[in-house]
Amino acid sequence: MVLVETKKLRIRDIAKILSAQSEEPCCLFGDAAVRIGICTHEEIQEALEYQQKNCPHVLDLAMEDERVDQKVLMQALRRYLRHAERLIDRMTDALVVV
């Protein structure tokens, strides 16, 4: 984790953030860290930019790993995307247009 490696986040901070995130499951890790005052918005943005430029995506790693059954991976990804679509639909329905 980028923020741990740069010493901006300690392991006990992760536990606090995950606890806060568990109370609000749709809240992103970085948003929870900012909300409870462990990180600034700027620190999260910097970490995300670094991660996007320098760290392989977990799907890339899984697809390149010959131990991973590609059919099973695609089935799991399909289920995840359907779940994400349902969440987006619920959030869209909850929006109030002013």
User: Does the pTM exceed 0.75?
Assistant: no
Q: Compute the average pLDDT of residues 13-20.
A: 94
Domain ranges of the chain: 1-55, 57-98
Over the stretch 23-66, which tens digit does the pLDDT of each residue have? 987 899 999 999 999 999 999 999 999 988 998 888 898 999 99
Query: What 3 state SS string does the chain have?
Result: CHHHHCCCCCHHHHHHHHHHHHHCCCCCHHHHHHHCCCCCHHHHHHHHHHHHHHCCCHHHHHHHCCCCCHHHHHHHHHHHHHHHHHHHHHHHHHCCCC
